[in-house]
Chains A and B, each alone.
Chain A
Amino acid sequence: MSMLETQALTREFGGVIAVNKVDFFVEKNMITGLIGPNGAGKTTLFNNITGLDTPTSGKVFFEGKEITGTPADRVCRLGIARTFQNIRLFKELSVIDNVMVGRHFHAGNSHNRTIQAILSYLNVEKEEKKTYLDAMKWLEFFGLENLRNEKAKNLPYGYQRELEIARALATEPRLLFLDEPAAGMNPQETEDLMKTIRRIRDIGVTVVLIEHDMKLVMNICDNITVLNYGQKIAQGTAMEIQSNPAVIEAYLGKDEDEEDDEE
């Protein structure tokens, strides 16, 4: 069985079938790409896997266990983290606090430590120091440590995207979902992002990314799944996808035409 698998996953919104009987596979230690035109259902598929949305039918398996309909916080604790297409940082909190939120459930080992948080000054201080150190490792991973005390909302766009990934990684996921991480980035930033994604893979985190930047997808993805109108129309390596007629028709063809027009 693959690390993550969906079986005939379907999500309907009223009459719209946003995701239609999709079998999606993610192999361990690989970078998987999820592509498709706007409105193809990519974000909806992410949401239904990560617990922010509940599928109409179908199943989700993670590391052999069924997780269909598990709430988002439990999915995260199971080892799946994510970022969002429209950046969702804790804007008024500092950069380091954003990452420390990602350490939240690692910091507490007993079930409910509210009482302890109120009563034990020493424990809280010790716990906070450790959380800070653990969080700082992820800021250093992205070279953001000098911005640690800035408010998240004051960061330049590209850094905000990186901070969101840092925050997700701080939860120590085995599987990381990135929803259009390069959106709004310039070519240099996109280049850096590619290197970063490879580094994330190299530390043992399996990555799934939704991306519109074809160059990025074809370059770094070991495996690509293509959605169109909620259905999976192809799956394979970059080479296979590039030469797949259905894909060319639905997506790449149009895209290349546009690029040709621009040139």
Chain B
Amino acid sequence: MLNFFILILIYTCIYAFMSLGQNLITGYSGMLSLCAAGFFAIGSYTTAILTTSFGWSFWATLPIAALLSALMGVLIGLPTLRLKGDYLAIATLGFAEIVRNIINNWDALTNGPMGIQRIPMITIFGIKISPYQKYGFLLMEIIMLLICWFLFERLASSRMGRALEAIREDEIAANSMGINVTKYKVVSFALGAAVTGIAGCLQAEFTLSVSPGSYVFMVSIMVLCTVVLGGMGNFVAVILGAFIIQFISYLPQLIGLSNIIPAQAKQIIFGLILVIMMIYRPQGILGRKERNNKKAEKNWLLNKKEAINEHA
């Protein structure tokens, strides 16, 4: 039971990386993208191929996977980011399917439907991080997640984060305020793709094998669900969302009813969650995080006081 809970946490972390990316793209920039599965696959296969065929260390594959995902993000972003709402969703969905089809059919590189097995385990300073000893793996994930979360939070609180929110609120007005809308959309798409790729690397190292069946459309839906459920534009909320989604999807096994409740039931549950949230709580459980100008405001009040004192 406890072991199973740890398993849920491990998958929560993997999904949390993707949620961070989806939140930047959808929660901040307001673009409805549905291709998390595509970047997830690129990350996984980059790690799988480089470690098995070329003997690279996991840590060396990590930046390559992130860069490759980001590059793919830019490549599909440039032509599609001008599209609005539903159209963008369909275009990105198509991209994810293309990625899955390629890994399914490019036998020479990806070993096709069979996938790649016997991926070497991660080592840190000679210590093996075995997925069979779950605590170590979870701890490593949490540390990596904290770093990524911190960086995304910083980005959001900078002027770039504000620019992304301005684009989400009104693209034309943002453009007229001197903001290069295309540039920022592409950058946020690339960063979201990169962190989703990193999630893929961890997935490959946790299961020690990859196959096309793990990178289906359902993954993108689950990631979108984490953001809608937790709260758009709130990084803490989407991590909470990732946990709830993982908890729900493993609930039948957790309470020992997996032979009564079919696995497909979770798809119905996720659909219901999306619908119910959209109707009753569109802002998500925690809601959007408001921009925090407290320090700057204090600084302004202080300056004002000084100015008044000088006059007196």
Do A97 and B291 form a contact, CB below 8 Å, given A102-B177, A167-B177?
A: yes
Instruction: Determine if A88 and B173 form an interchain contact, defined as CB atoms under 8 angstroms apart.
Output: yes
* Interface check B88, CB cutoff 8 A: no
* Interface check A129, CB cutoff 8 A: yes
B158 touches which one: A72, A73, A117, A171 (CB < 8 A)? Answer: A117
Do A73 and B297 form a contact, CB below 8 Å, given A88-B172, A94-B290, A97-B291?
A: no
**Contact code string B291-302 (vs A, CB < 8 Å = 1, else 0):** 101011101100
Question: How many residue pairs between the two chains, A and B, have CB atoms under 8 Å in the bound complex?
Answer: 129
Q: Which residues of A contact B159 (CB under 8 A)?
A: 100, 103-104, 107-108, 117, 127-128, 131
* Interface check A50, CB cutoff 8 A: yes
Instruction: Determine if A136 and B300 form an interchain contact, defined as CB atoms under 8 angstroms apart.
Output: yes
Do A129 and B296 form a contact, CB below 8 Å, given A117-B154, A117-B155?
A: yes
In the complex, what's the smallest C-beta–C-beta distance from A134 to chain B, in angstroms?
A: 10
* Interface check A76, CB cutoff 8 A: yes
Q: Which residues of B contact A101 (CB under 8 A)?
A: 162-163, 166, 174, 177, 179
* Interface check B178, CB cutoff 8 A: yes
> Of all chain B residues, which has the CB nearest A94?
B291
Q: Is the interface of A mostly helix, strand, loop or mixed?
A: helix
In the complex, what's the smallest C-beta–C-beta distance from B304 to chain A, in angstroms?
A: 9
Q: Which residues of B contact A110 (CB under 8 A)?
A: none
Most buried by A among B179, B181, B295: B179
Q: Which residues of B contact A117 (CB under 8 A)?
A: 154-155, 158-161
Instruction: Determine if A128 and B296 form an interchain contact, defined as CB atoms under 8 angstroms apart.
Output: yes
* Interface check B309, CB cutoff 8 A: no
* Interface check B71, CB cutoff 8 A: no
Q: Which A85-133 residues sit within 8 Å CB-CB of chain B?
A: 88-94, 96-97, 100-105, 107-108, 113-114, 117-119, 121, 124-125, 127-129, 131-133
* Interface check A84, CB cutoff 8 A: yes
- Tally of contact residues, A, Cβ under 8 A: 47
In the complex, what's the smallest C-beta–C-beta distance from A107 to chain B, in angstroms?
A: 5
* Interface check B310, CB cutoff 8 A: no
Q: Which residues of B contact A168 (CB under 8 A)?
A: 177
Instruction: Determine if B187 and A114 form an interchain contact, defined as CB atoms under 8 angstroms apart.
Output: yes
Instruction: Determine if A104 and B179 form an interchain contact, defined as CB atoms under 8 angstroms apart.
Output: yes
Do A73 and B180 form a contact, CB below 8 Å, given A97-B293, A121-B154?
A: yes
> Of all chain A residues, which has the CB nearest B299?
A129
Do A133 and B300 form a contact, CB below 8 Å, given A97-B293, A128-B293?
A: yes
Q: How far is the CA of A252 from the CA of B296 in the complex (A)?
A: 50
* Interface check A52, CB cutoff 8 A: yes
Q: Which B164-212 residues sit within 8 Å CB-CB of chain A?
A: 165-166, 169-170, 172-181, 187, 191
Instruction: Determine if A132 and B296 form an interchain contact, defined as CB atoms under 8 angstroms apart.
Output: yes
* Interface check A81, CB cutoff 8 A: yes
Instruction: Determine if A105 and B178 form an interchain contact, defined as CB atoms under 8 angstroms apart.
Output: yes
A124 touches which one: B157, B163, B175 (CB < 8 A)? Answer: B157
Q: Which residues of A contact B303 (CB under 8 A)?
A: 133
* Interface check A232, CB cutoff 8 A: no
Q: Is the interface of B mostly helix, strand, loop or mixed?
A: helix
Instruction: Determine if B176 and A52 form an interchain contact, defined as CB atoms under 8 angstroms apart.
Output: yes
B295 touches which one: A52, A90, A113, A129 (CB < 8 A)? Answer: A129
Instruction: Determine if A104 and B290 form an interchain contact, defined as CB atoms under 8 angstroms apart.
Output: no
Q: How far is the CA of A125 from the CA of B297 in the complex (A)?
A: 12
**Contact code string A53-91 (vs B, CB < 8 Å = 1, else 0):** 000000000000000000111001100011010001111
> Of all chain A residues, which has the CB nearest B169?
A90
Q: How far is the CA of A84 from the CA of B175 in the complex (A)?
A: 13
Q: Which residues of B contact A132 (CB under 8 A)?
A: 293, 296-297, 299-300
Q: Which residues of A contact B169 (CB under 8 A)?
A: 89-93
Q: Which residues of A contact B191 (CB under 8 A)?
A: 114
Instruction: Determine if B154 and A118 form an interchain contact, defined as CB atoms under 8 angstroms apart.
Output: yes
B296 touches which one: A108, A119, A131, A167 (CB < 8 A)? Answer: A131
Instruction: Determine if B154 and A90 form an interchain contact, defined as CB atoms under 8 angstroms apart.
Output: no
Q: How far is the CA of A258 from the CA of B303 in the complex (A)?
A: 53
Q: Which residues of A contact B173 (CB under 8 A)?
A: 84, 88-90
* Interface check B312, CB cutoff 8 A: no
* Interface check B134, CB cutoff 8 A: no
Q: How far is the CA of A119 from the CA of B150 in the complex (A)?
A: 10
* Interface check B281, CB cutoff 8 A: no
* Interface check B266, CB cutoff 8 A: no
Instruction: Determine if B178 and A171 form an interchain contact, defined as CB atoms under 8 angstroms apart.
Output: yes
Q: How far is the CA of A81 from the CA of B163 in the complex (A)?
A: 17
Q: How far is the CA of A202 from the CA of B158 in the complex (A)?
A: 33
* Interface check B257, CB cutoff 8 A: no
List residues of A whose CB falls within 8 A of some B CB: 50-52, 71-73, 76-77, 81-82, 84, 88-94, 96-97, 100-105, 107-108, 113-114, 117-119, 121, 124-125, 127-129, 131-133, 136, 148, 167-168, 171
List residues of B whose CB falls within 8 A of some A CB: 151, 154-155, 157-163, 165-166, 169-170, 172-181, 187, 191, 288, 290-291, 293, 295-297, 299-300, 303
Can you list 11 contacts pairing A with B, beta carbon distance less than 8 Å?
A: A50-B176, A73-B175, A90-B174, A91-B170, A92-B165, A103-B159, A114-B160, A118-B155, A119-B151, A129-B299, A133-B299
Q: Give the 4 A-B residue pairs with the shortest CB-CB distance, closest first.
A: A132-B296, A117-B158, A90-B169, A76-B178
Known: A73-B181, A133-B299. 7 other contacts (CB 8 A): A89-B173, A90-B166, A90-B174, A93-B165, A101-B179, A102-B177, A117-B161
